[in-house]
Structure 1
Amino acid sequence: MRTVLSNTARYVGIVIGAFVLALPLLFMVSGSLKSATEINTFPPKLLPTTPVWQNFADAWNYLTGGVIANSFVFAIGIVGLQLIISLPAAFALAKIPFKWTGVIMASLVIPMFIPGNLTLIPLFIVTFQLGWLNSFAGLIIPMAAQCAFAILLFRQFFVSLPGGLIEAARIDGASWLRVLWSIALPLSRPALATFCSVSFLTAWNMYIWPQIVAPDPAHRVINVALAPLAGGENSLISPSVGLAGAVIAMVPVLIVFIVFQKWYIKGVAGTGLE
């Protein structure tokens, strides 16, 4: 009897917690389908009386397909470059013995404690001097270079790999690059999925860096285009249109999470070794 009550209380707590966490999301989706008059009524209603699908068409006029494409280039470019840099570096730190490993690890950890706002101005000056303003290079490369967390994440995973696998491959004549490609990477799918989903979400949600480096329409990303839809007291844009734009911006991130969900859960719950 005590076990039944304990399980019931646990599930009730989970349902209540899930509802509280999902309430802002439900309000956003519901508000995106309300009219300009209905969304400003008090007390607010959870569901719209009549769905107004025109809000999504109006939001799309602000976002456009070009902005969505720029956002994908920006986010995927950051994730891809960080993987190219961090995977070999992490594997070398974890499995290839050489001097000064501790110094290199310290040099990766220390910058993680420096607030990003302190490095924003120097980073902008360097980008300006390189002539990368209003370009995808200026958008992607400075952000992709900040991959200390990715190196430490993958390094911690590679350390947990059985040493016998690496030694057997080396005895058979495999190079370090072949060991990384044929052995380490296939086993690191949970860690890769975890990093890709988190890094993609972080890049997709960036606003300050794209706003100051590439605000021109040709390189505008979704959060920069979405900002005017936030509206205000003097705005002529309905809050419903802004919420519809937020729903459109949320869909790609939701798809990425659903695709990587299986491996993401494995990467969080365990070591990733099957």
Structure 2
Amino acid sequence: MRSTLRNVVRYLAILVGAFVLALPLLFMVSGSLKSATEINTFPPRLLPATPIWQNFADAWTYLTAGVIANSFVFALGIVGLQLIISLPAAFALAKIPFKWTAAVMASLIVPMFIPGNLTLIPLFIVTFQLGWLNSFAGLIIPMAAQCAFAVLLFRQFFASLPGGLIEAARIDGASWGRVLWSIGIPLSRPALATFCSVSFLTAWNMYIWPQVVAPDPEHRVLNVALAPLAGGENSLIPPSVGLAGAVIAMVPVLIVFIVFQKWYIKGVAGTGLE
């Protein structure tokens, strides 16, 4: 009886917590279907009296297919380049002994404590000097180079791999690259899914760097295009249209999380090997 009561209380607490966390999301989706007058009524109503789907059509005039494609190129480009850089580096730090491992690890940890706003101006100057303004190279490469977290994450995972597995492959004549490709990467799917989902979400939500480096229409990403929909006191754009734009911007991230959910949970739980 006591165990049943404990379970009931636990599930009630989970349901209440889930509702509190989901309430802003529900309000955003509901507000995207309301009229400009209805969204400002007090007390607010969670559900619209009559759904207005035109809000999404109005938001789509700002968030076009080209803008969404630019956002995917930007986010996937950062994730892909960071994987190319961080996986070999992390594997070398974890499994290939050399003299300066501790110094390299320290050089990776220190930049993580520097706020990004402090490096924004120097990074912009370097990008300008390279002639990368208003280009995908300027959008992607400077952000992809900031992969210290990825190296440390994968290094910790590779360090947990059984040493005998690596030694057996080396005895059979496999090169270090072959060991990484055939053993390290296949076994690191939980860590890969965790990093890819977090890195994709971080890149997808970036605003300052794309706004500074590539604000032109040809390279504009979602958050830059979404900014005018945020509205204000003198804005002529209804807040419901802005909420519809936020819903459109949320859908790709939600799909990515659903696809990688299984591996993301494994990576967070730190289960390591299957």
Q: Secondary structure at the match of 2:64?
A: helix
Q: Residue 271 of structure 1: CA displacement?
A: 2.8
In structure 2, the residue matched to 1:59 is 59
In structure 2, the residue matched to 1:232 is 232
Q: Residue 2 of structure 1: CA displacement?
A: 1.7
TM-score (norm 2): 0.99
| Overall identity of the aligned pairs, in % | 89
Letter in 2 for 1:88: P
In the alignment, does 2:41 pair up with 1:9? no
Q: Deviations over 1:204-239 (max 9, x none)?
A: 000000000000000000000000000011111000
In structure 2, the residue matched to 1:21 is 21
Q: Deviations over 1:98-140 (max 9, x none)?
A: 1100000000000000111111110000001111000000000
In structure 1, the residue matched to 2:78 is 78
In structure 1, the residue matched to 2:104 is 104
Q: Secondary structure at the match of 1:218?
A: coil
In structure 1, the residue matched to 2:174 is 174
In structure 2, the residue matched to 1:127 is 127
For 1:89 and 1:269, locate their aligned partners in 2 and report how far apart those are by CA, in whole Å. 24
In structure 2, the residue matched to 1:114 is 114
In structure 1, the residue matched to 2:257 is 257
Q: Residue 193 of structure 1: CA displacement?
A: 0.3
Is the contact made by 1:90 and 1:155 (CA closer than 8 Å) also made in structure 2? yes
For 2:195 and 2:29, locate their aligned partners in 1 and report how far apart those are by CA, in whole Å. 28
Is the contact made by 1:75 and 1:200 (CA closer than 8 Å) also made in structure 2? yes
For 2:272 and 2:62, locate their aligned partners in 1 and report how far apart those are by CA, in whole Å. 42
For 2:19 and 2:154, locate their aligned partners in 1 and report how far apart those are by CA, in whole Å. 34
Letter in 2 for 1:115: P
Q: Secondary structure at the match of 1:165?
A: helix
Structure 1 unmatched runs, 5+: none
In the alignment, does 2:267 pair up with 1:267? yes
For 1:63 and 1:76, locate their aligned partners in 2 and report how far apart those are by CA, in whole Å. 19
Q: Residue 268 of structure 1: CA displacement?
A: 1.1
Q: Residue 5 of structure 1: CA displacement?
A: 1.5
In structure 2, the residue matched to 1:184 is 184
Q: Deviations over 1:133-169 (max 9, x none)?
A: 0000000000000000000000000000011110000
For 1:18 and 1:272, locate their aligned partners in 2 and report how far apart those are by CA, in whole Å. 28
Q: Secondary structure at the match of 2:61?
A: helix
Structure 2 unmatched runs, 5+: none
For 1:35 and 1:98, locate their aligned partners in 2 and report how far apart those are by CA, in whole Å. 64
In structure 2, the residue matched to 1:50 is 50
Q: Which runs of 4+ in 1 moved over 4 A?
A: none
Q: Residue 270 of structure 1: CA displacement?
A: 2.8
For 2:186 and 2:209, locate their aligned partners in 1 and report how far apart those are by CA, in whole Å. 34
Q: Secondary structure at the match of 2:44?
A: coil
Equivalent runs, 1:152-167 vs 2, <5 Å: 152-167=152-167
Letter in 2 for 1:177: G
TM-score (norm 1): 0.99
Number of equivalenced pairs? 274
For 1:186 and 1:144, locate their aligned partners in 2 and report how far apart those are by CA, in whole Å. 23
Equivalent runs, 1:86-101 vs 2, <5 Å: 86-101=86-101
Q: Residue 272 of structure 1: CA displacement?
A: 2.3
For 2:267 and 2:110, locate their aligned partners in 1 and report how far apart those are by CA, in whole Å. 25
For 1:229 and 1:159, locate their aligned partners in 2 and report how far apart those are by CA, in whole Å. 47
Letter in 1 for 2:114: I
For 2:190 and 2:29, locate their aligned partners in 1 and report how far apart those are by CA, in whole Å. 31
